[in-house]
């Protein structure tokens, strides 16, 4: 005859143990998830994605045409370009972050944030490829190539524009300096013609005695020879 009452005791014990473990694990995981979700996102809000999806969901008022496909394609391309920046950022950060994590220099939290960003970027790419294929078959294969070139081109253009923006400043500086040199030189000449010592060699050393006027000498003395040399170079170098 089985003693049901005595047998129930170990089962009840097991039940309590398993139940409490389960509850603990459930609560723990929930808190972890909530914590991970509350972590600051790695990237800023994806503006291009928001624009694209907003355009897709734009409900034009009655009588006006729908958003044309061209605009949507442009918006998708912009979105892909921004994704390229993010892919590059994730790739660059990954190696450094792994090393830092192994050394224990950064916390676990940063790593979690990063992993989430990585996953999001992956999803984002898949999404863009799907959208591109919906516009035109096989565009998904080349959209990121185009976007990559767009991102690189933007860098090239920004850099050259920045540098070219220096031209007015440099020109002004040089014009001022040139004017200064000329007036100084004229002054020196006047002084010297007064002293009746205006040989070709003397102005050089006379001007050179003042520190700020060194350049006078260089420009005036170096001018003709330099331009001759420059001329020689030009002949040699002009052909591409």
Q: At closest approach, how far in Å is the CB of 136 from other proteins?
A: 4
User: Which is nearer to other proteins, 49 or 97 (by Cβ)?
Assistant: 49
Q: Rule CB under 8 A: which of 92-111 touch other proteins?
A: none
Please report whether residue 124 would count as binding other proteins according to CB under 8 A: yes
User: Which is nearer to other proteins, 27 or 71 (by Cβ)?
Assistant: 71
Please report whether residue 153 would count as binding other proteins according to CB under 8 A: yes
Out of 120, 184, 189, 198, the only residue in the binding site for other proteins (CB under 8 A) is 120
> What DSSP line would sit under the chain, residue for residue?
---HHHHHHHHHHHHHHHHHHHHHHHHHHHHHHHHHHHSPPSS---HHHHHHHHHHT--PPTTSPPPPHHHHHHHHHHHHHHHHHHHHHHHHHHHHHHHHHHHT-S-HHHHHHHHHHHHHHHHHHHHHHHHHHHHSTTHHHHHHHHHHHHHHHHHHHHHHHHHHTTHHHHHHHHHHHHHHHHHHHHHHHHHHHHHT---SSHHHHHHHTSGGGHHHHHHHHHHHHHHHHHHHHHHHHS--
Q: At closest approach, how far in Å is the CB of 52 from other proteins?
A: 9
Stretch in the footprint of other proteins (CB under 8 A) among 16-24, 102-110, 142-150, 193-201:
142-150
Q: Rule CB under 8 A: which of 3-42 touch other proteins?
A: 41-42
Q: Rule CB under 8 A: which of 163-192 touch other proteins?
A: 163-164, 166-167, 170-171, 173-175, 177
Please report whether residue 74 would count as binding other proteins according to CB under 8 A: yes
User: Which is nearer to other proteins, 123 or 191 (by Cβ)?
Assistant: 123
User: Which is nearer to other proteins, 52 or 97 (by Cβ)?
Assistant: 52
């Amino acid at each position: 005859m089985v003693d049901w009452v005595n047998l129930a005791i170990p089962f009840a014990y097991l039940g309590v143990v398993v139940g409490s473990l389960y509850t603990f694990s459930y609560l723990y995981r929930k808190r972890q998830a909530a914590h991970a979700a509350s972590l600051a996102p790695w990237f800023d809000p994806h503006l291009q994605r928001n624009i694209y999806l907003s355009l897709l969901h734009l409900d034009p008022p009655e009588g006006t045409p729908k958003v044309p496909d061209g605009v949507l394609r442009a918006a998708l391309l912009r979105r892909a370009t921004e994704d390229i920046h993010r892919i590059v950022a994730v790739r660059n950060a990954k190696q450094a972050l792994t090393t830092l994590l192994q050394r224990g220099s950064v916390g676990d939290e940063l790593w979690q944030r990063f992993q989430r960003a990585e996953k999001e970027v992956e999803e984002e790419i898949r999404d863009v490829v799907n959208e591109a294929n919906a516009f035109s078959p096989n565009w998904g294969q080349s959209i990121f190539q185009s976007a990559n070139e767009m991102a690189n081109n933007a860098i090239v253009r920004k850099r050259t524009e920045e540098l070219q923006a220096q031209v007015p400043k440099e020109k002004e500086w040089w014009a001022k300096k040139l004017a200064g040199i000329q007036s100084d030189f004229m002054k020196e000449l006047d002084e010297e013609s007064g002293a009746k010592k205006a040989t070709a060699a003397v102005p050089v050393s006379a001007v050179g005695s003042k520190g700020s006027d060194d350049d006078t000498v260089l420009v005036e003395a170096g001018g003709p020879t330099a331009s001759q040399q420059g001329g020689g170079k030009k002949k040699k170098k002009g052909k591409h």
